[in-house]
Amino acid sequence: MRVGKNHAVSVSGSILLLVAALAVVGPWISPHDYVTTDFDRLMLPPSADGAHLFGTDDLGRDLFVRTMLGIRVTLLVAVVASLVSLVIGVAYGAIAGFVGGRIDAAMMRFVDTLYALPFIFFVILLMVAFERNFLLIFVAIGAVNWLDMARIVRGQTLSLREREFVEAARLTGVSTGRIILRHIAPNLMGIVIVYVTLTIPQAILVESFLSFLGLGVQEPQTSLGALVDTGVNQMEGAAWALLIPAGLLAAILMCFNFLGDGLRDVFDARQVE
Amino acid sequence: MLRYTLLRVLGAIPTLLLVIALAFLMVHAAPGGPFDDERALPPDVEANIQRAYHLDEPLPKQFVRYLGGLLRGDLGPSYRYRDYTVSELISTAFPLSMRLGALAMALAIVAGVTAGTIAALRQDSYVDRCIMALSMTGISVPVFVFAPVFVLLFAVKLQWLPAGWSSTSGVSRFVLPVITLALPQIAYIARLTRASMIDVLGSDFVRTARAQGLGTLTVVRLHALRPAMLPVLSYMGPAIAAILTGSVVVEEIFGIPGLGQFFVRGALNRDYTLVLGIVVFYATLIVSLNLIVDVLYGVIDPRVRYR
C-alpha cells in the first residue's frame, strides 16, 4: 500500500516493467532478426523506413532487435547473478548472525578481508583464464556481490535473535533449524528484497563493463555493454549506435537505483513504526 | 597510536597473501597453457619453453618462486611483449595512470564535498533536490557511457577539447579523462557528505557555536567539516578501487598509454603473467592505500584507536 504512495518506486518500477516487456515482445514483432547482415543497408539512421527503428550497424544488422536482445541478456545476467549473491549472502549472514560468538567474528573478519580486494580485476582474471561463457559470468558476478548482503542479513539476524518471539519459540522447545526457517527467515524477507533491488544495478554494471571490454558476452550474442562498445567505434558516422544503447543502459541503471532507494525508504519507515 | 598502526600493518599481510595466492591459482588453474594458440611446436621446443618459464615445476614450487620474485620487485617476464619484464611494463605505464587517478581523486573530493555541503545547508530546497538528482545520475551511469558521450559531444561535435591523447594538445588532453573518471566519485562523495553534514549540523556543539553568533560558513569550516568528513574518509578505499577500475575504461576510450590499457590488452591477448602481475600490483596498491586511510582515520578521530 505504502509502496504505491512512493513515486520513485511506482514510476521507476513501471518504466522497468515496460522496458522488460518491450525487450521480450520487440524481437517477435520485428521483421528482422539479430544476426542477418544486409550490406545494402549499412549504418542507416533510425527511421520507420524498412522498419529499422533504431537504425542499422556497420554490418547492416537491425539495431532495434539487437538492442532488445541486449536488454534481455543484460537483465537476465543481472537477475541470475543477483540470485546467486542472494543465496550466498543470506546463508552466510544468517549463519554468522544466529550462531554468533567467535564463529561470527571470524566469518565477518573474512568478509572484511574480501571487501578490501579489487574484485573486478579478479573477475577479469577469471574471464581471461577460462573460456568465456554465460555460466561463468553469472557465477563470477554473483560471487562478487554477496558481501553487502551477508553484512546486512547478519545485522538483521543479530537483532531478530534477541526478540521475544524467538525467545518464546526457543522456550517452547522449537529446534534451531526450525527457528531460522520459520521465524528468522520470513522477517528477513523485506530487507533482502530491498538489497536485491540494489544488487541488480551493480550486477548490470559488472556485466556491461566486461562486455564493453570484450570479455563478457560474445558475438553474435550481445548485451547493452557490448552494444555501447560497438557504438563507440561507429560514433562519428552513426551516433545513434552509441546513444541509444548508452541511454537505455543509463535509464535502466537509474530506475533500479531509484527503485531500491525508494523501497529502502518504505521499508525503513515500516521499521520505525 | 604506534600500536594501532602496527596492528593495521600486520593485519594487511594475510590479506595480501590471500590475494596473491588466489590470483596465482586462478591463472594456473586455467585450462591449456599460455602458448597453446600458437602453431604446434616440436615437443623438445615446447619442453624448452616450459622450462624457460618454469612451467615444468610443481605448482607450490612455482608459487614460492613467484613470491620470492615479488619480494625483489620482479613479476616475471611478459608472455607477449617478449623483450620486457612485467615490472618494466608496469613502471613505464603506471606514472601516467597515477597522475590521472590523483587528479580525478582531488577533483572528486573538492567537488563532492562542496556539493554535499551546499545540499546539506539547503536541505530539502530546490538546490538540494537538484544536487541529489544529479548525484543519482552520476552514481547510476557507468564511466564507459559517460566517456564516449563526452567525446562525441565535446570533442567531435563542439571540438572544444581533444578526443585522443596526442602530445600536441598539452594540458587540455587531461580535462575529459579526469572529469569522466571523477564523476561517479563526485556523486558518491556528495551524497555521503550531505548525509553526515546534516547529522553534524543537528548536533549540540554546532548549536552552541551558532548560539555564540558565528556565521554559517565559519561554523562549517571550524566545527562541522572535520566530523562530517569521517564517512567520506572511510569511503576513500572503495573510491580508490573504483578509480582504478574506471581508469581501465577511460584509458581505453581516450587512448591513454597507461596501466589500464596494458591490462585490457593483456587480458585480450591472454598475457597471463602481465595480467597476473597487474592484478597483484593493483591489489597491493589498494591494500596499502586502505592501510593509510585506516591510520589517518585514527589521526582524525582518536576514538577509533581505542576500539
Report the alpha-carbon angle B276-B277-B283, nearest 5: 90
In which band, very low, low, confident or very high, does the pLDDT at A17 lie, cut at 50, 70 and 90?
very high
The answer to whether residue B286 neighbours chain A at the CB level (below 8 Å) is yes
Nearest CA in chain B to A204: B142
- List, for residues B235-245, the tens digit of each pLDDT value: 887 888 888 88
| pTM, 2 dp | 0.81
Q: What percentage of chain A carries pLDDT values higher than 70?
A: 89
- List, for residues A191-225, the tens digit of each pLDDT value: 888 888 888 988 888 888 888 888 878 777 888 88
Domains of chain B and CATH, by start: 93-252 (1.10.3720.10)
For residue B189, give every residue at least 6 positions away whose Cβ sits within 8 Å of its Cβ, in sequence order, or none. B108, B109, B111, B112, B113, B116, B232, B235, B239
- Closest Cβ–Cβ partner in B30, B244, B287 for A129: B30
Inspect the interface and report whether the beta carbons of B282 and A213 lie closer than 8 Å.
no
The answer to whether residue B18 neighbours chain A at the CB level (below 8 Å) is yes
Among A108, A117, A207, most B C-beta atoms within 10 A, so best to mutate, is A117
- List, for residues A78-136, the tens digit of each pLDDT value: 888 888 888 889 888 888 888 888 888 888 878 877 776 677 777 787 777 776 677 77
C-alpha cell of residue B146: 559517460
pLDDT above 60 for A4: no
Query: Are A259 and A16 a contacting pair, CB within 8 Å?
Result: yes
- Phi/psi of residue A56, nearest 5 degrees: -130, 160
Inspect the interface and report whether the beta carbons of B140 and A242 lie closer than 8 Å.
no
The answer to whether residue A225 neighbours chain B at the CB level (below 8 Å) is yes
Q: What percentage of chain A carries pLDDT values higher than 90?
A: 4
**Chain B residues within 8 A of A214 when measuring between CB atoms:** 268
User: How near does any CA of chain B get to the CA of A182, in Å?
Assistant: 36
The answer to whether residue A130 neighbours chain B at the CB level (below 8 Å) is yes
Among A109, A121, A151, most B C-beta atoms within 10 A, so best to mutate, is A121
Domain that holds residue A193: 3-42+50-272
Q: In one letter, which amino acid is B63?
A: F
Residue B103, burial from CB neighbour count under 10 angstroms (0-12, 13-18, 19+): middle
Instruction: Tell me the torsion sign for CA atoms B266, B179, A74, A268.
Output: positive
In which band, very low, low, confident or very high, does the pLDDT at B102 lie, cut at 50, 70 and 90?
very high
The answer to whether residue A15 neighbours chain B at the CB level (below 8 Å) is no
C-alpha cell of residue A207: 556485466
Average pLDDT over residues B253-265: 86
CA terminus-to-terminus distance, chain A: 15
In which band, very low, low, confident or very high, does the pLDDT at B189 lie, cut at 50, 70 and 90?
very high
Nearest CA in chain B to A256: B140
pLDDT above 60 for A2: no
- Phi/psi of residue A159, nearest 5 degrees: -80, -35
- The angle, 0 to 180 degrees and rounded to 10, between the axes of the packed helices B259-269 and B86-121 is 120
Question: Helix, strand, coil: what percent of chain A each, to 5?
Answer: 75, 0, 20
Can you give the pLDDT at residue B60? 81
Torsion of Cα atoms, B100 then B104 then B107 then B108, to 10°: -170
Average pLDDT over residues A179-200: 84
**Chain A residues within 8 A of B152 when measuring between CB atoms:** 235, 239, 242-243
**Chain A residues within 8 A of B132 when measuring between CB atoms:** none
Torsion of Cα atoms, B4 then B10 then B13 then B15, to 10°: -50
Please tell me the distance from the alpha carbon of residue B68 to that of residue A243, in angstroms, as a whole number. 49
Question: Exposure string (b/e) for B63-77, b if CB count within 10 Å is 16 or more?
Answer: beebeebbeeeebbb
**Cβ–Cβ pairs < 8 A, chains A and B:** 118
**Chain A residues within 8 A of B275 when measuring between CB atoms:** 124-125, 128
For residue A1, give every residue at least 6 positions away whose Cβ sits within 8 Å of its Cβ, in sequence order, or none. none
Residues paired with A62 in a beta bridge: A56
What CATH number should be reported for the domain holding residue A79? 1.10.3720.10
**Chain B residues within 8 A of A250 when measuring between CB atoms:** 137, 140-142, 145
For residue B197, give every residue at least 6 positions away whose Cβ sits within 8 Å of its Cβ, in sequence order, or none. B116, B117, B120, B121, B220, B224, B228
Inspect the interface and report whether the beta carbons of A232 and B148 lie closer than 8 Å.
yes
Can you give the pLDDT at residue A115? 72
- The angle, 0 to 180 degrees and rounded to 10, between the axes of the packed helices A63-99 and A101-115 is 150
C-alpha cell of residue A152: 546486512
Complex ipTM tops 0.90: no
Query: Which of A224, A244, A218, A237 is CA-nearest to residue A35?
Result: A218
Instruction: Give residues 208 to 227 of B whose Cβ lies within 8 Å of A.
Output: none
Please tell me the distance from the alpha carbon of residue A245 to that of residue A249, in angstroms, as a whole number. 6
Among B129, B140, B259, B284, most A C-beta atoms within 10 A, so best to mutate, is B140
The answer to whether residue A127 neighbours chain B at the CB level (below 8 Å) is yes
Can you give the pLDDT at residue B119? 92
Average pLDDT over residues A20-35: 80
Give the CA distances from residue A98 to residues A151, A169, A217, B64, B102, in Å, rounded to whole numbers and listed in that order.
Answer: 13, 14, 39, 39, 43
In which band, very low, low, confident or very high, does the pLDDT at B19 lie, cut at 50, 70 and 90?
confident
Residues paired with A56 in a beta bridge: A62
Is B61 or B36 the better-scoring residue by pLDDT? B61
Nearest CA in chain A to B274: A125
Can you give the pLDDT at residue A220? 79
Query: Are A201 and A257 a contacting pair, CB within 8 Å?
Result: yes
Instruction: Give residues 99 to 138 of B whose Cβ lies within 8 Å of A.
Output: 136-137
Please tell me the distance from the alpha carbon of residue A50 to that of residue A43, in angstroms, as a whole number. 13
Question: Exposure string (b/e) for B168-181, b if CB count within 10 Å is 16 or more?
Answer: eeeeebbbbbbbbb
What are all long-range contacts of A95-103, with beta carbons under 8 Å and residues at least 24 apart? A96/A150, A96/A154, A96/A157, A97/A153, A97/A154, A97/A155, A97/A156, A97/A157, A97/A158, A97/A160, A97/A161, A98/A157, A98/A161, A98/A176, A98/A180, A98/A184, A100/A158, A100/A161
The secondary structure of B116-148 as a DSSP string is HHHHHHTTTSHHHHHHHHHHHHHHHS-HHHHHH
Can you give the pLDDT at residue A1? 43
The secondary structure of A134-169 as a DSSP string is HHHHHHHHHHHHHHHHHHHHHHHHHHHHTSHHHHHH
The secondary structure of residue B156, as a DSSP letter, is: I
Is B167 or B59 the better-scoring residue by pLDDT? B59
Please tell me the distance from the alpha carbon of residue A65 to that of residue A31, in angstroms, as a whole number. 9
* Number of domains present in the structure of chain A: 1
- List, for residues A223-265, the tens digit of each pLDDT value: 888 888 888 888 777 788 888 888 899 999 999 988 888 888 8
Average pLDDT over residues A143-160: 85
Inspect the interface and report whether the beta carbons of B149 and A246 lie closer than 8 Å.
yes
In which band, very low, low, confident or very high, does the pLDDT at B112 lie, cut at 50, 70 and 90?
very high
pLDDT above 60 for A273: no
- Lowest model confidence (mean pLDDT) among A25-39, A187-201, A225-239, B268-282: A25-39
Helices and strands in chain B: count of H runs, count of E runs: 13, 0
pLDDT above 70 for B306: no
Alpha helices in B122-229 (DSSP H): 126-140, 143-150, 172-201, 204-211, 216-219, 225-228
pLDDT above 80 for A147: yes
Q: In one letter, which amino acid is B71?
A: L
